[in-house]
Amino acid sequence: MKERYFTDERKPKKRIIEQVSIDCVIFGFYDNQLKVLLLKFKGLDAWALPGGFVFHNESIEEAANRILEDRTGIRNIYLEQFYVFGDKNRQFREVHEEVMYKNSIHPQDNHWLFQRFISIGFYALVDFSKVTPELDDISEICGWYDIEDMPLLSFDHPQIFQKALETLRSSLDTKLVGFNLLPEMFTIGELQSLYETILGKKLIRTNFQRKILSLEILERIEKKYSGGSHKAPYLYRMDVAKCEVFLKTHF
């Protein structure tokens, strides 16, 4: 059930924690490119990360999951907080006003959304092939953009995105989060391509293969992938239990 936030009232309709928001950076991987899910506000040339607020009766993690579902239709994915954006002047009256006008709302001067907000950043990793973004009622686009070629974001969302990307990079090896961006079964080649785009550099194929397999967190599926006019690679599946053991013993 989607909630309507943009009323013209001084207080939000549903009880939320005031002056606290959540913004989500949703990463996907497709066509050998790292993608991010962005929303475009109806009738405006303004882009943003999906965000929202925390209800009184939910944890911030529950809130982040709900917000994601409300605003993009995506649910049940890897989600983790990564940073709090708490600048003194973190308020965005102008953008909010524009959005509200376009939605036929004429806010009071002390509308609750005009306050200074502290935003908790979450990043999400999804299996691109399993996701079909859905529009909410204040957006006209909800779609994937190559991180190398994305529209300029409103608010302070460029910084939030940047920090999320840095966190993703440094978590690749230490938390092995990359697998969340791939389908359940994948080839080492696909995994390498994922690592290369996230890290922004080429890796030597044979060494990458040796390294990844030496972690002993992958299970080789007997069935082979087919399609290319060349030797068929093995398919692998990540073994969650082994992965946890590995992380515990190495970090």
Partner DNA sequence: TTGGTATTGTACCAATTTGATACAATAGTC
Partner DNA sequence: GACTATTGTATCAAATTGGTACAATACCAA
| Contact flag: residue 201 with DNA (CB under 7 A) | no
Q: What is the DSSP letter of 215?
A: T
* Other Cβ atoms closer than 10 A to 179: 21
Q: Which of 3, 30, 42, 58 binds a copy of itself (CB under 8 A)?
A: 58
Check residue 59 for interaction with a copy of itself (CB under 8 A): yes
Q: Is 147 in the site for a copy of itself (CB under 8 A)?
A: no
Residue 216 interaction partner, one of DNA, a copy of itself, none, beta carbon < 5-8 Å per kind: none
Tokens representing 250 are 């190495």
**Beta 78-85 vs 118-125: how paired, if at all?**
antiparallel
In the complex with DNA, the residue whose CB is nearer, 73 or 189, is 189
Residue 89 Cβ vs a copy of itself, minimum distance, rounded to whole Å: 9
Within 135-194, the residues that bind DNA by CB under 7 A are 187-189
Q: Which of 5, 30, 78, 83: binder of a copy of itself (CB under 8 A)?
A: 83
Region from 114-122, 139-147, 204-212, 219-227 binding a copy of itself, contact rule CB under 8 A? 114-122
Q: Which of 159, 69, 78 is nearest to 121 (CA)?
A: 159
Q: Phi, psi at residue 76, to the nearest 5°?
A: 65, 55
The only residue of 56, 88, 231, 248 in contact with DNA, by rule CB under 7 A: 231
Residue 251 lies near a copy of itself (rule: CB under 8 A): yes
Which distant-in-sequence residues (6+ apart) come within 8 Å of 234 by Cβ? 187, 188, 220, 221, 224, 225
> Do residues 188 and 196 make contact, with C-beta atoms less than 8 angstroms apart?
no
CB 63 within 8 A of CB 52: yes
The 3-state DSSP class for residue 16 equals strand
Q: Report, in Å, the least distance between residue 127 CB and DNA.
A: 20
Other beta carbons less than 10 A from residue 120's beta carbon? 20
Q: Does 88 bind a copy of itself (CB under 8 A)?
A: yes
- Helix H or strand E encompassing 241: helix 240-250
Q: Which residues bind a copy of itself (CB under 8 A)?
A: 17-20, 54, 56-63, 81, 83-84, 86-88, 116, 118, 120, 170, 174, 251
Q: Which residues bind DNA (CB under 7 A)?
A: 187-189, 204-207, 209-211, 213-214, 224, 226-234
